[in-house]
Amino acid sequence: MGIEDNKNGANSKKANPGKATILALGKGFPHQLVMQEFLVDGYFRDTNCDDPELKQKLTRLCKTTTVKTRYVVMSEEILNKYPELAIEGQPTVTQRLDICNEAVTEMAIEASQACIANWGRPITDITHLVYVSSSEARLPGGDIYLAKGIGLKPETNRVMLYFSGCSGGVAGLRVAKDIAENNPGSRVLLATSETTIIGFKPPSPNRPYDLVGVALFGDGAGAMIIGTDPNPNTERPLFELHTAIQHFLPNTEKIIDGRLTEEGISFKLDRALPQIIEDNIEGFCSKLMENIGLTNKDYNKIFWAVHPGGPAILNRLEKRLDLSPDKLIASRRALADYGNASSNTIVYVMEYMMEENKKMNKETKNDDEWGLILAFGPGVTFEGILARNLIR
């Protein structure tokens, strides 16, 4: 599944020489689409659980997440083949990885092929691959299987980012930017792919956070092509990547705590996370915005492509920065349609942001020429890129 051919951006503004640009986007999904309104009954049926208290809690959570639909790899066929996945205490990491390793490769191939089709140049022109996932573990890694699956050249230079969580997509974009700007003429494929099967578990009163994950997270893949000095005859740049920074907050390692155990990945998310992000977001954004002379008075003069970790994070960010409601429409749409799909979600947000710009049919002006691409992950780690919209 890919976005509309990016060559419709015939009125693209010119990118600055030597600056990395996003040249195409693409996405991929498993076949199973889950409607949020049917999730609770299906989950409790599949896990043979009849605890009314837990069921009531999940019902409440499903309403508060604002998610409406999600794609998932998990299916009745998988549970029939691996019934132990729905039994608490069973050591199932081997079975999970067998499923996840194959699933993330299939989705990454679909997203990458869609992205390359939107890009319009031959796959042989790709020189580098950055592969991001928190849903697999194997040697060789998923980068090799993706490269083989889409037919990349054997001399393609590869980088893997594993277990970066929700910040992985923007972290991968930062790495791709550095590669592109330091290798003139290169074309970098960034691919992300995630599935929740790695952490699927039956409901338990001993693991209350598991229900948050059930109500919030989704599966899928995303892809981008990044390069400098676009060829005006064959490429149409979407966004210029001006400045990228990363910042981790000391002594917050336990705020997002994930561990790979015999029963798959187990997560603990501290309730303080939205407040921590709110308390630190202005300083982080200022470091990016000051590069082009913008201040905190200019928040509503830029676009915002924010990874939607959950509605509480978006709400707090919107309130703290006094953003007008239209600034986070793309993030809220991505959350509603795909859930929090971890590293992939930033691709969906950026796609929706392009749609919203086109729908509003704005006149060309400087107010939304610049913007921020943001994500927050384990650490607590802030990833941010100051970007320039080239397709207004």
Establish if 248 belongs to a structural domain: yes
* 3 state SS of 80: helix
Q: For residue 293, what are the domain limits? A: 239-389
Q: What is the pLDDT of residue 269?
A: 85
* 3 state SS of 294: coil
Spatial CB neighbours of 45, under 8 Å, sequence gap ≥ 6? none
Establish if 281 belongs to a structural domain: yes
Q: What is the pLDDT of residue 366?
A: 43
User: pLDDT (tens digit, 9 = 90+) per residue, 213-271?
Assistant: 999 999 999 999 999 999 999 999 999 999 999 999 999 999 999 899 999 998 888 99
Tell me the whole-structure pTM to 2 decimals.
Answer: 0.94
Tell whether the model's pLDDT for residue 209 goes beyond 90: no
CATH number at residue 255: 3.40.47.10
Establish if 142 belongs to a structural domain: no
Establish if 194 belongs to a structural domain: no
**The residue to which tokens 């501290």 are assigned:** 270
**The residue to which tokens 């999940």 are assigned:** 58
Spatial CB neighbours of 71, under 8 Å, sequence gap ≥ 6? 29, 30, 32, 33, 34, 218, 219, 220, 338, 341
Number of domains in the chain: 1
What phi and psi values does residue 217 have, to the nearest 5 degrees? Answer: -90, 150
Binning pLDDT at 50, 70 and 90, where does residue 4 land?
very low
Please state, for a pLDDT cut of 90, what percent of the chain lies above it.
Answer: 87
Q: Which two tokens stand for residue 200?
A: 């699927």
Nearest CA to 370 out of 296, 292, 283 is that of: 292
User: pLDDT (tens digit, 9 = 90+) per residue, 18-75?
Assistant: 999 999 999 999 999 999 999 999 999 999 999 999 999 999 999 999 999 999 999 9
Establish if 342 belongs to a structural domain: yes
In this structure, of 8-22, 133-147, 328-342, the range with the lowest mean pLDDT score is 8-22
Binning pLDDT at 50, 70 and 90, where does residue 356 land?
confident
The residue-averaged pLDDT of 83-101 equals 94
Establish if 123 belongs to a structural domain: no
Binning pLDDT at 50, 70 and 90, where does residue 280 land?
very high
Establish if 290 belongs to a structural domain: yes
Q: What is the pLDDT of residue 8?
A: 39
Establish if 331 belongs to a structural domain: yes
The residue-averaged pLDDT of 102-131 equals 98
Binning pLDDT at 50, 70 and 90, where does residue 359 land?
confident
Q: Which of 62, 100, 166, 285 is catalytic?
A: 166
49 is catalytic: no
Q: Are 156 and 367 in contact (CB under 8 A)?
A: no
User: pLDDT (tens digit, 9 = 90+) per residue, 282-291?
Assistant: 999 999 999 9
